[in-house]
């Protein structure tokens, strides 16, 4: 599996990224107090399939987990960091923050993105968490260009978040994407010197995704085998885009859904 995508593949990924962004926007519209997580999931899946794309998370399997992922969108509420599942009994409430993580296959290529939605009114520290998590992604993206390194991305994210005393989740990282849902290289959101150095090259396609908490960085998996929550019960936020590395910077594969 090549980590470098051709120009033709990158153009197809951009087409898929636009569809994925619009599917996520449909999910965001439905993500209001009183909506079920199943409603949110259905909105994204309906749009995606109507435009020739296929959910990449639905039915996804990982080693050691007996049940495939049951949803199109990972819907993670409050202390759930990622991989929350959709269910008609899971209802969005006023004051929730909801992570929406979504991926699709289009023309045989995978894209991935996420946002965090604030439902109604929340305390200032919660809205700051969401805004700062998004901004940390912007800071990480600003470092990307050919001949820079994966650690440069994580360092920029860490340098923005650490002075604000947030928890930066370490057990979950960004990744390559395109030919598979998850590819090499792993992309930590902090300085991780335990990984072999990776130099960025033109044509690499990467999913950058800071996951940030109001408390400790440690996480654990719920009994459903999928939903990952903060160990201390603190709130978490998550943003993600897929990009292609260029000689002078990067091309956005998945447009920002909130712009």
Average pLDDT, the chain: 97
pLDDT above 90: residue 133:
yes
Please give the share of the chain, as a percent, with pLDDT higher than 70: 100
Average pLDDT over residues 14-27: 98
Which two three-digit tokens encode residue 81?
A: 């960091």
Whole-number pLDDT of residue 3: 87
In whole angstroms, give the CA distance from residue 180 to residue 127.
33
Q: How far is CA 160 from the centre of its chain?
A: 19
Looking at the chain, how many residues does it have?
259
pLDDT one-digit tens code per residue, 219-228: 999 999 999 9
Burial class of residue 237 (count of CB atoms within 10 Å of its CB; 0-12, 13-18, 19+):
buried
Cβ atoms of 121 and 61 within 8 Å: the answer is no
pLDDT one-digit tens code per residue, 229-244: 999 999 999 999 999 9
CATH topology of domain 7-252: Creatine Amidinohydrolase (3.90.230)
Q: Edge to edge, what strands does the sheet with 167-168 contain?
A: 167-168, 211-213, 236-238
Where in the chain are the domains? 7-252
Confidence of residue 126 (pLDDT cuts 50, 70, 90): very high
In whole angstroms, give the CA distance from residue 89 to residue 26.
20
Whole-number pLDDT of residue 194: 81
Average pLDDT over residues 58-69: 93
Confidence (pTM): 0.97
More reliable by pLDDT, 194 or 16: 16
Confidence of residue 58 (pLDDT cuts 50, 70, 90): very high
Q: Which of 204, 200, 203, 175 is nearest to 189 (CA)?
A: 175
pLDDT one-digit tens code per residue, 185-196: 999 999 988 888
Whole-number pLDDT of residue 64: 86
Q: What 3-state class would DSSP assign to 107?
A: coil
pLDDT above 90: residue 216:
yes
Whole-number pLDDT of residue 1: 58
Whole-number pLDDT of residue 177: 98
Please give the full DSSP string across 182-233, using - where no structure is assigned. Answer: SEEEEE-SS--TTSPP-B--TTBEEEE--EEESS-S-EEE-TTSS-EEETT-
Q: Which of 177, 183, 239 is nearest to 211 (CA)?
A: 239
């Amino acid at each position: 599996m090549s980590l470098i995508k051709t120009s033709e593949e990158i153009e197809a990924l951009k087409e898929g990224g636009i569809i994925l962004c619009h599917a996520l926007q449909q999910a965001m519209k439905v993500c209001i107090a009183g909506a079920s997580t199943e409603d949110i999931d259905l909105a994204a899946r309906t749009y995606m399939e109507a435009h020739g794309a296929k959910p990449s998370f639905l039915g996804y399997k990982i080693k050691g987990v007996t049940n495939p992922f049951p949803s199109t969108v990972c819907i993670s509420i409050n202390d759930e960091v990622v991989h929350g599942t959709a269910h008609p009994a899971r209802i969005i409430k006023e004051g929730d923050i909801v992570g929406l993580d979504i991926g699709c296959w289009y023309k045989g290529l995978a894209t991935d993105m996420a946002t965090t939605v604030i439902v109604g009114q929340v305390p200032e520290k919660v809205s700051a968490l969401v805004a700062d998590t998004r901004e940390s992604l912007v800071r990480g993206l600003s470092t990307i260009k050919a001949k820079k390194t994966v650690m440069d991305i994580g360092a920029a994210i860490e340098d923005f978040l650490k002075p604000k005393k947030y928890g930066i989740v370490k057990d979950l990282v960004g990744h390559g994407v395109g030919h598979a849902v998850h590819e090499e290289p792993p992309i930590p959101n902090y300085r991780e010197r335990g990984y072999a150095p990776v130099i960025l090259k033109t044509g690499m396609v990467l999913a950058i995704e800071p996951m940030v908490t109001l408390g400790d960085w440690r996480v654990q998996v719920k009994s459903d085998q999928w939903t990952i929550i903060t160990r201390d019960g603190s709130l978490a936020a998550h943003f993600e885009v897929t990009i292609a590395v260029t000689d002078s910077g990067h091309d956005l594969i998945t447009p920002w859904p909130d712009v």
